[in-house]
Structure 1
Amino acid sequence: MCIGAGPAGLYFAISAKIRDAGHDITVIERDPPGATYGWGVVYWDDLLDMLYSNDRESAQRIRAESSLWQEQSIALRTDEASYLTGYGYSVNRAPLLEVLASRATELGVRIEYERAAEDLSEFSDADLIVVADGANSRVRQRYSEQFGTIVDQGRNPYIWLGTDKVFEMFTFDFEETPHGWVWFHAYPSSAGVSTFIVECQEATWRGLGFDRLSDGEGVRLLERIFARMLNGGSLISESRGKAASWQRFTQVYNQTWRHDNVVLIGDAAHTTHFTIGSGTRLAMADAMMLAQMLIGHEDTAGALKTFDEQGHAALRVAQAAARTSMAWFESIDHYTDRSALEFGYALAARHGRQPPWQYQRHMITQNRVVRRGLRLANSCRRVYRARRRGESWR
């Protein structure tokens, strides 16, 4: 039994089925089919490598639905920008979940939508209950003492929007208002649409009136603040019929991910701040690891113990980076008195101490000719990795 039809829950069902087709797996989901909210998520080659080695069929479909972006652009107050080398991928949540649900169904997984799980006693006949119902997991809340759950929230409000302005790069823009700084990061997520995540400090959010404005008024104000970067484009609030709302990031930590025959995975078990772009990768990695542990152990209890120990250990670096990244953006005023080039370096180096040569490297890579060479090198690297995993690269 799996509770939650997000990336973690569906990919666990897929991963368990391809390892043992005899597994009888049911995934239940509170919402109706397709009722995912939000826009795109980002990932990198490391996730594609894992997906292709685990289940080539779903990996190919996910890659086909994904967009490629190259370089990161960081603008501060003016048209001047600094650049970070590299590339990544993004995919809209809706087609991602459609791919995973379709693949799970093909493998014989039952998916029951619009069914809530309030009490685990109704699943007493299940050998294993996988809880994958997100950061606000109701099941985890009900058994918070058993899991040793600690939940708190980040200080900065943020809102997850879309836009018809297509950003070819992963783009940061920081704009100063009379009430403080407001910024977004955006990236392409489907044909003609980009994901557009806006963040600011609490005092700025209240000073600009976002706590009082209607959804439409708030979006129009953001369009005015970011008019230079949107260049005539519009922001989109509604996703699948639901307007976006301001939130504060929910940090989830559990001392243990297991209790009896119940195990937490994905955001129900742990969260990492969205500014490091690892949530989906970690959720799907959990799913693969748990499925492998179950097939590699004679008893479920031993599999869950090993998954809990190794999963916590594997997550420490990502969680530390996420906490550091969140704290950097919550203290943005410490860095905005710099030039765009120096600010871009501070953003890139926000995860910790850097050797002196790293700053010199950053300055060299701002040269247009050097950037062109790095893009070519990254393209060659991307093609090599795509061919190595058997991908029809593009």
Structure 2
Amino acid sequence: MCVKVACVGGGPAGLYLSILLKLRDPSHDITVYERDPEGSTYGWGVTYWRGLLDRLREHDPVSARAVEEHSVRWRDGVAHVGGLTTRHQGDEGFGIGRHRLLEILAARARSLGVRLEFDHGITGENPPDADLVVAADGVGSALRTRHAAHFGTEITTGRNRYVWLGTSKVFDAFTFAFTETDHGWIWAYGYGFGPGGSTCVVECGPETWTGLGLDRADEGEALVLLEKLFSDVLDGHPLTARSGGRAGATWPAFRTLTNRTWSRGNLVLLGDAAHTTHYSIGAGTTLALEDAMCLAGALGDHARLPDALAHYERERRAALLSVQSAARHSAQWYENLPRYIRLAPERMFALLGQRHSPLLPYVPPGLYYRLDRAAGRLETLRRFKRWLGPRLARTAQARRAAGARRMTD
């Protein structure tokens, strides 16, 4: 259907969509535009789970084999809470370097005849001439911003501050480290992505961020402080920042982005340009690749572009509902960390694994832990949890609304 396609953004979503469209119809004229030089991507590693690898194999076994070959895997999760440690076995997870993933996808796209234009920025004022323009240019999408009123873009900012770092320490499990300071708790998520290192995301509440002086520290000072705070899990390895040494490392609050609609004429949003989910569930890259799978399928199955884009948006919105809910509750779990952190480490870690639950915020943590343990053995209690959770959430929402009305009366 689409003869000429322009993908704006050379991340996983744009590259993988170009691959899938070429596999469906080699006659498509496809160009991927990336504003940065080739090989200059930010970050260290990304995570994904077995289900994504299975879907990659279904859509393109060649790139799936390369991705799996260059990934590391783990089954264990480890939590360090103060001086105590607990380890649980979980689902099989994978990590791959972001540079490596993009190299694999770019090489595969080129082999199929996709043109890759690096150092080629596209703005809302100079959109490419194509039958279909795909905005895969991330949360700050210039193409989406140009028509923000049409797309109905909304951004909700979280409470906590975070920074994305790397380390030469190779974690053998998905690692959580919680450290108490005089200004509150600060914690890190660490996971390996290859033989040379790991990703290490550090997060804390705003009071801890300012109390430790991280709001004023330059990049070098912040790294020295964090290396000291997490010395037990880093084993002497340094932390590195994505800015490459520039002063003033930022600690943003996470922005959850949604859009009322995902298309405008022949322009469609993909990946983070359309939606974001909190990094604590590790789903960003997976969702971007699944967007590409769905859009490629819709374009192949529908003769008219409006029908294809409507189908794509409808399918992906439905698929995202549960993920966005899980991400929202996960972010809130960390924002309310003091509620859980004083539990015994094995109990706190168990509730960390349950942080996606809509019921957990409304039940005392100790009771929830016992209920969950029992529910693991009794299907009746599982059904009770599924029934009770939404009702408690609706009751709390109604109380908040009633309180707001009383304040305005």
TM-score (normalised: structure 1): 0.88
The number of equivalent residue pairs is 362
Check conservation: 2:72, 2:95, Cα contact below 8 A: yes
1:222 counterpart residue number: 226
Whether 1:183 aligns to 2:187 is yes
Residue 39 of structure 1 and its aligned partner are, at CA, apart by 1.1
Query: Structure 1 360/73 Cα, relative in aligned 2: closer, same or farther at 3 Å?
Result: farther
Which AA in structure 1 matches 2:148? S
- Superposed, 1:230-379 pairs within 5 Å as 230-238=234-242, 245-352=250-357, 353=359, 358-359=372-373
2:152 counterpart residue number: 148
Residue 182 of structure 1 and its aligned partner are, at CA, apart by 0.4
Check conservation: 1:37, 1:242, Cα contact below 8 A: no
Tell me the distance in 2 between the aligned counterparts of 1:130 and 1:219: 38
Q: Write out per-residue CA displacement over residues 231-289 of structure 1, whole angstroms, 9 at most, x where no aligned residue.
A: 22221224767786422212110111111111001000001111111110110000011
2:59 to 54, 62, 71: 54
Check conservation: 2:151, 2:263, Cα contact below 8 A: yes
Whether 1:171 aligns to 2:183 is no
Residue 151 of structure 1 and its aligned partner are, at CA, apart by 1.2
Tell me the distance in 2 between the aligned counterparts of 1:240 and 1:315: 34
1:199 counterpart residue number: 203
Structure 1 stretches lacking a partner, 5+ long: 364-394
- Superposed, 1:95-174 pairs within 5 Å as 95-119=100-124, 122-123=127-128, 125-174=129-178
- Runs ≥4 residues deviating over 3 A: 238-245, 353-358, 360-363
Query: Structure 1 65/245 Cα, relative in aligned 2: closer, same or farther at 3 Å?
Result: farther
Check conservation: 1:84, 1:348, Cα contact below 8 A: no
Tell me the distance in 2 between the aligned counterparts of 1:5 and 1:306: 24
Residue 86 of structure 1 and its aligned partner are, at CA, apart by 2.4
Tell me the distance in 2 between the aligned counterparts of 1:233 and 1:8: 33
TM-score (normalised: structure 2): 0.85
Q: Alignment identity in percent?
A: 44
Check conservation: 2:75, 2:89, Cα contact below 8 A: no
Query: Structure 1 13/77 Cα, relative in aligned 2: closer, same or farther at 3 Å?
Result: same
SS at match of 1:168: coil
Structure 2 stretches lacking a partner, 5+ long: 1-5, 361-367, 378-409
Residue 79 of structure 1 and its aligned partner are, at CA, apart by 2.7
Query: Structure 1 242/299 Cα, relative in aligned 2: closer, same or farther at 3 Å?
Result: farther
Residue 117 of structure 1 and its aligned partner are, at CA, apart by 1.2
Which AA in structure 2 matches 1:282? L
Q: Write out per-residue CA displacement over residues 144-166 of structure 1, whole angstroms, 9 at most, x where no aligned residue.
A: 11111101221111111111111
2:23 to 18, 23, 26: 18
Residue 85 of structure 1 and its aligned partner are, at CA, apart by 2.2
Query: Structure 1 156/168 Cα, relative in aligned 2: closer, same or farther at 3 Å?
Result: same
